[in-house]
């Protein structure tokens, strides 16, 4: 073989190696099926603690009556009740609470209506006030709302118990730019950005090493004129949502909760305290309601296999070895 042929062969091997480097692994960021930790009995908990009178709020459809809820602190729990075939039934509960009801109470506003039946505990009521414009204001110690809905495991889409679709669950990733994320009052909401965050993210549950993901959507306009957009952080290794901050949230829409928006102050205070004490802060905290607890251990019947290192990482050293050996053999034959 001539030297020129040997060089062409080496060039072919080199180009092949470059191709292998940029071949995406089978664990694609756009994988939409349920992650390994999502199984019957599993749960995910998020929380936000505010040092202000109002940390956030939402509107809950209580038997056709819109009930506006605000408060300083919130805990959100998703629990998988059962799985039948490709469908999981999930219960979500939102518990709003306060550390000081005199300073930062839980407040409920609803249209004064003779047919409306309060769904909160009477023992939690501090006072009730009739306001102008036919509005009733109730001050509470705490309030819990929620409901059940379904998730299709193969694609992550959320449905209410009547089969109406609302969009992709926020619980795990699998988003692609320009794809439909949610159906908000019948309007299509699109993912505008799936960005890799080269930083470790801290949560109340644990720290998740880099890289992580930021997912962003087009904005939505609620019937009351409120403008918001989906912003959430994800761990691609565990395929779990680390935090979310505001509407649209299909999992909430399926149980009649709209206009959700909440912020957390405690996480920032933790970092500030560490800094004042001269300690190094490792990682950053995401915004919104932050992961606080979860069943991320191995399941006996996982929906998909537990995430592990991609087999693609072994292709490069193997290819390099083959290229070196083949190149040497070719070169020697050509001499």
Q: What is the pLDDT of residue 105?
A: 95
The two tokens of residue 23 are 């071949």
- Beta partners for 75? 47, 95
How far is 84 from 236, CA to CA, in rounded Å?
Answer: 26
Least Cα distance to 92 among 257, 290, 243 occurs for 257
Residue for token pair 């306009």? 221
Q: What is the pLDDT of residue 108?
A: 97
- Beta-carbon contacts of 243 under 8 Å, excluding residues fewer than 6 positions away, are 46, 203, 232, 233, 286, 287, 288, 289, 290, 291
**Residue numbers of the chain with a pLDDT score lower than 70:** 1-30, 280, 298-335
- Beta partners for 233? 214, 243
DSSP result, 108-177: EEEE--TT----S-GGGEEEEEEETTTEEEEEESEEEEEEEEEEETTT-EEE-TT--EEEE-SSS----T
How far is 57 from 262, CA to CA, in rounded Å?
Answer: 6
How far is 335 from 332, CA to CA, in rounded Å?
Answer: 5
The tens digit of pLDDT for each residue in 275-307 reads 777 776 778 999 999 999 999 974 333 333 334
Q: What is the pLDDT of residue 109?
A: 96
How far is 253 from 183, CA to CA, in rounded Å?
Answer: 9
Q: What is the pLDDT of residue 174?
A: 92
Contact 204, 47 (CB under 8 A): yes
How far is 13 from 24, CA to CA, in rounded Å?
Answer: 19
Residue 33 per-residue DSSP state: S
The tens digit of pLDDT for each residue in 246-283 reads 999 999 999 999 999 999 999 888 877 777 777 767 78
């Amino acid at each position: 073989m001539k030297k020129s042929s040997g060089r062409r062969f080496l060039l072919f091997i080199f180009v092949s190696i470059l191709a292998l480097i940029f071949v995406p692994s089978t664990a694609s960021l756009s994988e939409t099926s349920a992650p390994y930790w999502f199984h019957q009995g599993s749960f995910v908990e998020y929380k936000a603690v505010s040092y202000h009178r109002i940390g956030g709020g939402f509107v809950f459809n209580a038997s056709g009556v819109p009930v506006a809820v605000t408060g300083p602190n919130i805990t959100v729990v998703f629990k998988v009740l059962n799985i039948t075939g490709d469908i999981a039934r999930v219960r979500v509960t939102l518990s709003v609470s306060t550390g000081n009801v005199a300073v930062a109470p839980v407040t409920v506003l609803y249209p004064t209506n003779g047919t409306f039946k309060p769904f909160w505990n009477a023992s939690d009521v501090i006072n009730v006030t009739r306001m102008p414009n036919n509005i009733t204001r109730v001050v509470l110690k705490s309030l819990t709302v929620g409901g059940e809905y379904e998730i299709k495991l193969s694609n992550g889409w959320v449905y209410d118990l009547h089969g109406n679709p609302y969009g992709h669950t926020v619980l795990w990733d699998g988003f692609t730019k320009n794809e439909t994320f949610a159906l908000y009052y019948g309007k299509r909401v699109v993912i505008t950005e799936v960005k890799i965050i080269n930083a470790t993210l801290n949560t109340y549950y644990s720290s998740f090493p880099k890289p992580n993901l930021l997912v962003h959507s087009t904005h939505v306009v609620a019937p009351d004129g409120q403008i918001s957009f989906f912003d959430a952080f994800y761990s691609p290794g565990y395929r779990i949502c680390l935090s979310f901050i505001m509407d649209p949230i299909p999992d909430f829409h399926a149980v009649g909760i709209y206009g959700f928006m909440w912020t957390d102050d405690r996480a920032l205070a933790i970092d500030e305290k560490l800094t004042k004490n001269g300690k190094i802060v490792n990682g950053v905290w995401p915004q919104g309601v932050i992961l606080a607890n979860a069943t991320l251990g191995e399941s006996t019947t996982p929906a998909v296999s537990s995430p592990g290192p991609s087999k693609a990482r072994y292709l490069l050293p193997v290819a390099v070895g083959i290229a070196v050996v083949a190149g040497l053999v070719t070169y020697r034959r050509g001499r």
